[in-house]
């Protein structure tokens, strides 16, 4: 077994994801689009399991969590108030010899162009990463909008709406899963840096005097999430931002980092945003976004602790972290060791031979009533079918054979150990439900 998954090649992972139907490059029949990806059946199921695990992980005893879904386009005034029009920049530089463009902070300019080796740089310019668009058909009346570069702002501008309708008390959290867009100068490393991606963000609104404790609380809780979804915790670390790294809105930020094959990189950001966002939106919109504290009979603007992770970057992490290679019956095998509740397909049902398809399918249909994420797989030798299921990370394969007809049992094969046991047909549903418990 590969014990060190930091050596997994990105190319192998990308081709497995394509070959087995997890992820495709957007419009690949037209040559693809840099920084954009489409998710196919297995990718969709895997992502949905991660979203669900993330939602579950937010519940806590300190306050309510409520959900929202905002529009992806927001008016210019909102992005001026948030500081994104003025501050959401990356430094960009072009090589005048080969015309390649780079993030100036990602390369050593003194060493020359990483593509052609020449030292013919343009000035370093700042580049705003927001996608700008015109809203409205008649050009004269069109207004400027931006695709959101983070989902968080939809939460801040809705703070008062939610606070006054959701029957919540401070502290509470508003969580959102949705698309974000950044015109990254150099999208790279597959799902790591994309131009269209999904974020899972939770903004925790609390009283100013409780914000430091809340920041620590959420840092701990977020680490527990990665453990619960089965990430190798020796590849997770928490790193505090230096003062000069902090985003324009942040008082303190801790990144949860994962050891990718290309090094330690940010997976999630946990930020103490103070009351920056609510104060800015209050100032620019003219609306009062403070709350009234009955106990002290005073008003205050809540402070915010934010937990923000990209769904796609998390999916990439889970793919890398669970990628395994070993040798079974003298043949090399590749598999994903996903935890059962994260695996896109929970079990496969395989008739040993075509002749047994009907009773095997009856068992499959019975299980499907309560566990829909299962597959029925008929063509190919049993060994080939096991390998196919291993490659997509299916934790259990149930094989219906001739003994099943006579003694009412099936074999169940464990993906990780490849060990097999026989269980009664009427125990299969219970067996699987038990294994799917978190
Ligand atoms: N609201 C705070 C915020 O957006 P961020 O650190 O810029 O903070 C949060 O982004 C998370 O979103 C990152 O930790 C990462 O998981 C994900 N993310 C950011 N940019 C991304 C990109 N270009 N492609 C994929 N995921 C990205």
Q: Which CATH superfamily is domain 345-435 in?
A: Anticodon-binding domain (3.40.50.800)
Report CA(91)–ligand 1 centroid distance (Å).
Answer: 17
- Residue of the nearest CA to atom 17 in ligand 1? 310
Report CA(90)–ligand 1 centroid distance (Å).
Answer: 14
Strands 303-310 and 196-206: antiparallel
pTM: 0.94
What is the DSSP annotation of 344-394? SS-EEEEESSGGGHHHHHHHHHHHHTT--SEEE--SS-HHHHHHHHHHTT-
* 318 Cβ below 6 A of ligand 1: no
Between CA 389 and CA 403 the distance in angstroms is 23
- Domain ranges within the chain, ordered by starting residue: 5-86+137-319, 89-128, 345-435
Asked, colleague to colleague, whether 5-86+137-319 and 345-435 share their fold, the answer is no
Residue 143 Cα to chain centre, angstroms = 32
**CA torsion angle 119 125 129 135 (round to 10):** -130
Strands 143-147 and 291-293: unpaired
List of E strands, 114-206: 125-128, 132-135, 143-147, 172-181, 196-206
Task: Please list the rounded mean pLDDT of every run of 10 residues in the chain (438 residues).
Answer: 65 94 97 97 98 98 97 96 94 93 91 94 93 84 90 98 96 98 94 98 97 98 98 98 89 96 97 97 97 95 98 98 94 96 98 96 98 95 95 98 97 97 97 92
Orientation angle between helical segments 311-322 and 10-19, nearest 10 degrees = 100
Between CA 187 and CA 312 the distance in angstroms is 13
pLDDT of residue 249: 87
Class of domain 5-86+137-319: alpha beta
Report the atom number in ligand 1 closest to the C-alpha of 199: 12
pLDDT of residue 137: 76
Other Cβ atoms within 10 Å of 407 Cβ, number: 10
Between CA 215 and CA 230 the distance in angstroms is 24
Query: What's the alpha-carbon Rg for the chain, to the nearest Å?
Result: 25
């Amino acid at each position: 077994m590969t014990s060190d998954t930091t050596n997994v090649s990105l190319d192998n992972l990308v081709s497995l994801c394509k070959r087995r139907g997890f992820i495709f490059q957007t419009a690949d029949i037209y040559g693809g689009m840099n920084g954009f990806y489409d998710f196919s059946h297995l990718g969709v199921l895997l992502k949905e399991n991660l979203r669900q695990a993330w939602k579950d992980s937010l519940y806590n005893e300190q306050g309510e969590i409520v959900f929202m879904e905002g529009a992806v386009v927001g008016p210019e005034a909102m992005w001026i108030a948030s500081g994104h029009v003025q501050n959401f920049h990356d430094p960009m530089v072009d090589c005048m010899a080969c015309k390649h463009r780079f993030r100036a902070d990602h390369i050593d300019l003194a060493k020359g162009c990483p593509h052609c080796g020449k030292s013919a740089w343009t000035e370093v310019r700042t580049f705003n990463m927001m996608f700008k668009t015109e809203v409205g058909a008649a050009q004269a009346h069109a207004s400027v909008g931006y695709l959101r570069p983070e989902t968080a702002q939809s939460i801040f501008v809705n703070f008062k709406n939610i606070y006054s309708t959701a029957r919540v008390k401070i502290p509470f959290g508003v969580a959102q899963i949705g698309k974000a867009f950044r015109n990254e100068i150099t999208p790279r490393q597959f799902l790591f840096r994309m131009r269209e991606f999904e974020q899972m963000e939770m903004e925790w609104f609390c009283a100013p005097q409780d914000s430091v404790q809340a920041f620590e609380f959420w840092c701990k809780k977020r680490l527990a999430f990665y453990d619960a979804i089965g990430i190798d915790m020796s590849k997770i670390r928490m790193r505090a931002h230096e003062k000069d790294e902090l985003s324009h809105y942040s008082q303190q930020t801790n990144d949860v980092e994962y050891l990718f094959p290309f090094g330690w990189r940010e997976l999630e950001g946990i930020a103490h945003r103070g009351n920056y966002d609510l104060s800015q939106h209050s100032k620019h919109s003219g609306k009062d976004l403070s709350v009234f504290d009955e106990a002290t009979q005073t008003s205050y603007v809540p402070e915010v602790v934010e937990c923000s992770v990209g769904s796609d970057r998390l999916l990439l992490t889970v793919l890398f972290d669970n990628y395994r290679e070993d040798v079974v019956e003298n043949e090399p095998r590749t598999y994903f060791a996903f935890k059962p509740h994260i695996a896109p397909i929970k079990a496969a049902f395989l008739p040993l031979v075509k002749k047994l398809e009907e009773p095997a399918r009856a068992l499959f249909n019975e299980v499907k009533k309560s566990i829909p994420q299962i597959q029925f797989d008929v063509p190919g030798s049993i060994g080939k079918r096991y390998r196919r299921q291993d490659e997509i990370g299916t934790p259990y394969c149930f094989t219906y054979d001739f003994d099943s007809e006579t003694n009412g049992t099936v074999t169940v094969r464990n993906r990780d150990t490849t060990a097999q046991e026989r269980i009664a047909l009427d125990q299969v549903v219970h067996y699987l439900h038990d294994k799917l418990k978190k």
